[in-house]
Each structure stands twice: as structure tokens, then as C-alpha cells.
Structure 1
Amino acid sequence: MAAHNGGQTWKVGEVSRLTGLTVRTLHHYEHVGVLVPSARTESGHRLYNCTDVQRLYQVVALRDLGLDLGTVATVLAGELDITVVLGEHLDHVERRLTALMSLRSRLAALLAATRSAGTPGPIELLALTEEVIRMEETTKRYFSPEQLAALETRREQVGEQLVTEVQAEWPRLIAEVRTELDAGTPAASPRVQALAKRWMELLEAFHGGDPGLRDSLYRMQAENSEEIRQQYGGPTPELIAYVQEAVEAS
């Protein structure tokens, strides 16, 4: 950290260390134009000032909302009203929170009643069932009863522990792929190729090589990508395209 022209500045390595962002990511932000350092040292090292730090926060915050870098650039250029973006996202989050809090309240009340009085009553179970069914309706629109039965059979065969491990791996894998995309890493690079290979392995663990299951899965993701991303942390279309590019380049 240093003073430059009367103001506080940070080199790219310092910004990386303080924020947890990689230097490659910061370089990529500069390359695509969303965050260009305001100054450089005589030897050419990047210097970020307080205004740059504020803009970096805006970039990170907008990315956290799920916006791709192109949309982030549009927002920061003033071509898209940030209040509209924030308002729409807030509305969606509040709807999701309302649904989750409703389900949480029902589960908590039902658990308390079960602990004190034994088996829950039919009215409580019917209400809880309705909450759960609403979350399953999307799945049932895309998978036939035979496919759902096949999925359940496979789940029993592999065991709950493996299912849990795969479910826990997806968020980490999505985050790693997003980091490489943000950093501008070519899809043909060995690092992205390895991530894409694991991505396809996890998908195959779901559909088991069955073309029908695979096509249903892809169609559900394509037609509900935003809802899946917001509610379950699924990948954006941008990430999926990046993985597909890596697969095609392998």
C-alpha cells in the first residue's frame, strides 16, 4: 500500500491479498474493461486507488447477484439502472425467502408437535406435503415416471453417502469453473479441461449414460436456468457454455 499523487493506492498483489481475488481475475477484469487501474508506477505496475476499490466492490457485488461481466459493464457504464437490477433481485430473493420460511415454520412446528405428542396429524402432514410437492413439480414436468423410478433405483444402488458427496461437490466445482471464466482462462487450457471432465462425470453420475435422462436433464436446465441458479445455486448459461466449449476442445 502506498501514497500516489496525494491518495492511497494498492498494487495488484496487495488487492489480491486483501480481497481473496486472484491476480489473474483482476487482470481479466481490466482486459474486459470492468475495472481498469487508474495509475501505474514508473516501472509499469498497476496501481488501484480508492475509486478503483469502490468500483471493484461494485463488480464483485454485481457478480454475486449472478450477472455476467458483460451485464456488469453495462450497469457500471450507466446504461442499465442499478436500482432496477437490485429491485428485481430483491423481489426474487424475498419470494424465495417467503417460501423457505414458510416451509421452515411448518417443519419446526411439526417437529415440536411430534416430540411432544407423537405422530403428527393428517392436516399438518398434508400442508407439509403441499410445500414439498410444489418444489418437485418442475422435476416431474421433465422426467417420466419410468425415468424417476430409474433415478430412484440408481440412488439406492450408489448409496446415500455418495449422493451426498456429489451434491456437496457441485457448488465447489461451479465456483472453480466460474473463477477460471472470470480470469479469462482459455477453455482449452489443461486446468479448465480437468474441471470440464469432472463436470461431465458428475452429470453422468446422474443420468448414467441414458440418452433420455440426459436430454431431459439438459432441457430442464435450459428452460429453468435462472430459477435453478437462484434457488439451488446452479450454473449460469454462461458457465455451461464455457464447459461445453472445453469439452469440445478436448
Structure 2
Amino acid sequence: MSEKDAVERRWSIGELARASGTTVRALYHYDEIGLLRASERTASGHRRYTEGDLRRLYRVRALRALGLSLEEIAGVLADSPDDLETMRALLAAQLHDLEDQAGRIDRLRQRLHGLLGKLDDASMPDTDQFMMTLETMSVFETYFTQEQQDQLAERRADLGPAAVEEAKARWVDLVGELLPHVQADTPVDDPRVRDLVSRWDALGSAFHADGEQGERTKAAAQRMWDDNSADLGRRLPWPADQMVALVAYVGRVRQAS
């Protein structure tokens, strides 16, 4: 063992989770799929993470925040070394993303000042002003880039308000038809279930661009749900646990198709 190895810190899985803001469950999952495995084990078999493992976790989290799937991250890590230039490029990409977020925050700040100015003049802001502010807040709070938000907004505009409302109503009907199958644990290869999920996917695809751009916004939406399902579920008119189970069930049906 070198002198460097002798003084290098080691973390247990719980310590690494607390220090990095990552859940223990996520670390176990990263281990299972080979994305991040502890470099060492104690005599009793407990994981011990090294400084190199910590840097790899940072790269995983940073690339995830930049919109890559876990599969894409695995490919990036396999193809790039853990060196200064690679880390410099990653930090530069993160900085660019944060600067985009700062621009969105500044636009939101300006619109909030406008709303407050209206109130100071003893007049209620009009509906369009509130809608613009809410849309900006949505952009800031979601996992989509500004370009992706523009694409989604353009898609909604192309569909038109009537089509959007019709799609919402059809989605409510689909949820109503799928929930009993979730509760009954209907086999995922059941033709009735496959038809419902096919209609679900077709309905969702209408709100995304065609081709690779649409696949990326779909992936971003899935990541947003995966990371915030409990909170997002509470905003829907069904019990949150039912919606979490429903989306997981839909995913299993897709995998089986």
C-alpha cells in the first residue's frame, strides 16, 4: 500500500449518501447496474468508497443533471478517463447549464416585479401576466432545458387549446381504465392492457416533437417523474400512491411489449 492509499479517506455507503445528498437506495442501484461500485470491501463485506469513487459519483450526478440517462452516463464514463481535462469539460458544461438557469430566474424576477408593480398601482394584473409568470416558474422547476421548453410550448400551440383540453379529458379516461388493472395486477401481456398503454403513449407523443428531439423531452419528463413522483402525484386528482403505481405499471407493460 502506498503512502497516498494509507491516508486516503474511505466512506461507508451511509456516509457517502449523507455527504453527497444521494440516497442509499440510489447507491445500491448504481452498484447493481455497474455504474458505481465501491472499490473496496471490509473483512466483513461492507462497502468502502474511495476518493476515486466519490469523483465518479460526482460525474454521474452531474451528467444526470445535464439530462443524460443512466445508460448514456455509463457509456460516457466508459469512454472518458478520470482526469483533469475530462473534469474541466464536465464543470464547464455544468456552468453553462447554471447560467441558463440564472437567465430563467432573472426573467422570472422581472415578471414578478411587473406583477408587484401592477398591485402597487392598485390594479389587478391581467390573466396573461399571471399565465406568463406561471409558465416561467414551470420552466424553472422542471427538468427541461430552455430549448426543450420552447419545443413543448410550440407543440402545444400547434395543437391548439381545444385539442389540449380534449387530450386531458382522454388521459383522465385512460387513468380511470388503467387503475383497476393496476389494482388487480393484470398480467402485463394482457391485450387489453397493451391497448390502453398504446393509447397512453400515442396521447403523450402528441405533445412532443418528432424524432430525437421528442425522445429527449420524453426522457426528461420520465426523469422528472422518477425523481419527484410522490410530490407530482399529490397534485393529481387521484391518490398519489395509486399514480406512482400506475406509472410503474405502464413502464412494465412497455418493457413486456
TM-score by length of 1: 0.50
Q: Does structure 1 residue 137 correspond to structure 2 residue 137?
A: no
Aligned-pair RMSD on alpha carbons? 4.8
Q: Which amino acid aligns with 1:148?
A: V
- From 188, 199, 205, the equivalent of 1:218 is 205
Corresponding residue of 2:59: 58
- From 88, 112, 119, the equivalent of 2:117 is 112
Residue aligned with 1:9, SS: coil
Distance verdict in 2 for CA 1:140–1:86, change over 3 Å: farther
- Following TM superposition, by how much is the alpha carbon of 1:216 offset from its aligned partner in structure 2, in angstroms? 4.1
| Unaligned 5+ runs, structure 2 | 137-149, 171-181, 187-195, 227-246
CA distance in 2, matches of 1:152, 1:14: 44
Residues 206-245 of structure 1: matches in 2 within 5 Å?
215-221=202-208, 223=210, 224=214, 226-227=216-217, 234-236=221-223, 244-245=250-251
Q: Which amino acid aligns with 1:40?
A: R
- Following TM superposition, by how much is the alpha carbon of 1:218 offset from its aligned partner in structure 2, in angstroms? 2.3
CA distance in 1, matches of 2:98, 2:110: 18
| Unaligned 5+ runs, structure 1 | 155-192, 198-208
Between 20-29 and 211-220, the greater mean CA deviation after superposition: 211-220
Q: Does structure 1 residue 246 correspond to structure 2 residue 252?
A: yes
CA distance in 1, matches of 2:168, 2:41: 59
Structure holding more strand per residue: 1
Residue aligned with 1:43, SS: coil
Residues 13-32 of structure 1: matches in 2 within 5 Å?
13-32=14-33
Is the CA contact (8 Å cut-off) linking 2:156 and 2:164 kept in structure 1? no
Corresponding residue of 2:76: 75
Residue aligned with 2:30, SS: helix
Corresponding residue of 2:163: 147
Q: Does structure 1 residue 102 correspond to structure 2 residue 119?
A: no
Residue aligned with 2:110, SS: helix
Query: 1:145-169 CA deviation, whole Å, 9 max, x = no partner?
Result: 5423546889xxxxxxxxxxxxxxx
- Following TM superposition, by how much is the alpha carbon of 1:99 offset from its aligned partner in structure 2, in angstroms? 5.1
Distance verdict in 2 for CA 1:220–1:82, change over 3 Å: farther
Residues 141-180 of structure 1: matches in 2 within 5 Å?
141=158, 143-150=159-166
Distance verdict in 2 for CA 1:229–1:91, change over 3 Å: farther
Give percent identity, aligned residues only.
31
- Following TM superposition, by how much is the alpha carbon of 1:112 offset from its aligned partner in structure 2, in angstroms? 0.3
Count of residue correspondences:
186
- Following TM superposition, by how much is the alpha carbon of 1:62 offset from its aligned partner in structure 2, in angstroms? 2.0
